[in-house]
């Protein structure tokens, strides 16, 4: 099922009931999917997927360079 953000706002309680029943609801803005409402995992926790963020996080060169205690505490000299 697809609904607009405005419709989702007006029908939130109904959409939550549908999700509790196992249905997935896609919320759209200007026809483009922006969110999805669905049933919660059975145990209340999401399954951890190792490497799930691989390629999405980029560390800049020097991110792990040592810093002084003053830099850590934000103190200026």
The 10s digit of each residue's pLDDT in 9-54 is: 999 999 999 999 999 999 999 999 999 999 987 776 777 888 888 8
What's the pLDDT score for residue 7?
96
Q: For the chain, how many helices (H) and strands (E)?
A: 3, 3
CA distances from 66 to 16, 58, 61, 63, 73 (A): 49, 19, 13, 9, 14
Does residue 64 sit within a domain?
Answer: no
Tokens representing residue 68 in the block: 């002084």
Give the pTM: 0.54
Domain coverage including residue 34 = 1-40
Tokens representing residue 38 in the block: 């669905």
What's the pLDDT score for residue 64?
94
Does residue 56 sit within a domain?
Answer: no
Does residue 68 sit within a domain?
Answer: no
Does residue 23 sit within a domain?
Answer: yes
Does residue 13 sit within a domain?
Answer: yes
- When divided into structural domains, the chain yields a total of 1
What's the pLDDT score for residue 41?
78
Does residue 73 sit within a domain?
Answer: no
Residue 18's domain is classified under what CATH number? 3.40.1620
């Amino acid at each position: 099922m697809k609904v607009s953000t405005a419709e989702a706002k007006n029908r939130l309680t109904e959409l939550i009931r549908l999700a509790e029943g196992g249905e997935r609801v896609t919320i759209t803005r200007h026809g483009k999917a922006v969110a999805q409402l669905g049933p919660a995992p059975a145990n209340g926790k999401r399954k951890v997927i190792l490497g799930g963020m691989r390629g999405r996080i980029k560390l800049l060169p020097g991110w792990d360079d040592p810093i002084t205690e003053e830099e850590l505490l934000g103190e200026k000299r």
